[in-house]
Amino acid sequence: MKFTCKKNKFLEQMFNMKPIPVKTFEYNKNGELIVLTNHQIIQRFFNEAKPNDLKQVQHILAMENYSIQAINNFVKSAGNMLVQNQK
């Protein structure tokens, strides 16, 4: 999957250069099970996040050397935020 992030080209490039195996995450909102892939979460976050939030993610992932574990931790947390804020 090719990711697009118009608000942060560095993150876009980094996520497209690094092979990210598809992983699913399960969330619960009001008793409803919601299953999302990491690829869905990444793209939604890129689309919905503010530029400052994207810069923070870039900084945090850089400190972790853009490891798959750091990316998965970010994705899991971002997915939870997206699901809980979903109307």
Structural domain count of the chain: 1
Does some domain include residue 65? yes
Q: Give the C-alpha separation, 18 to 21, whole Å.
A: 10
4 in any annotated domain: no
**Predicted confidence (pLDDT) per residue in 31-42, tens digit:** 999 999 999 999
Verdict on whether the full-model pTM lies above 0.75: yes
Summarize the confidence of residues 57-72 as an average pLDDT.
91
Element (H, E) at 29: strand 24-29
Show the domain range for 35: 27-85
Closest CA to 37 of 47, 26, 50: 26
Residue 42 within a domain: yes
Tokens encoding 71: 């990316």
As a whole-number percent, the residues of the chain with pLDDT over 90 amount to 87
Find the distance separating the first CA and the last CA of the chain, reported in whole Å: 26
Is residue 87 pLDDT above 80, yes or no?
no
- Averaged confidence pLDDT in the chain: 94
| pLDDT mean over 59-69 | 90
* 61 occurs within a structural domain: yes
